[in-house]
Amino acid sequence: MSSAPASASPAWHVTSMNPAEAPWPLLLLADPSREKVRRYLPGSTCFAARLTQQLTPSGVGTLVGVCVLVPLGDGQQAWELMNIAVAPAWQQHGIGSALLQRAITWTRERGVRQLEVGTGSFGDQLLFYQRAGFRVTDIERDFFLLNYTTPLWERGVQHKDMLRLTLEL
């Protein structure tokens, strides 16, 4: 948790970001397949969490989180959250939740009816999305076995199946 009082402004803010500027180290935290990220990043909508106290030479805050959305079909009915990641040193400060809320608000403002996400069948990520109101709508058996060349492990268990979750907007 942040050491700042609840009434204080957070030490970071969420802004729109050009997908071409999305940082690979963060993107690969959430999706370790460069090939997959390269496919969905062009044409996506991205948001960035930047520190307000640490400015880069260009005058913007240091990037500590990223969120990537892509339209499903024509984008009128549904979008998919493809990637959301926060730098390890900044996790558990509400940044991921703020990025997710920005994605939800952004899609709602466009009249989109559903926001979807795919995640492992166990772990903190699943709880993160369920706390935000996402519900399991499908299971893609062996997804991680068939789509990733390197096995994905979490807490000593290999990810095999992907859960599809949907938030009705």
Whether the predicted model's global pTM rises above the 0.85 cut: yes
Residue 48 contacts residue 14 (beta carbons within 8 Å): yes
Nearest by Cα to 90 from 131, 145, 40, 53:
53
Report the alpha-carbon distance of residue 66 to residue 135 in Å, rounded: 23
What is the residue extent of each domain of the chain?
12-168
Kindly report, residue by residue over 126-160, the tens digit of the pLDDT: 999 999 999 999 999 999 999 888 888 888 989 99
> What sign results for the dihedral spanned by CA atoms 154, 156, 158, 159?
negative
Q: Is the pLDDT of residue 70 over 90?
A: yes
Distance (Å, whole) CA 95 – CA 100: 9
CATH architecture of the domain with residue range 12-168:
3-Layer(aba) Sandwich (3.40)
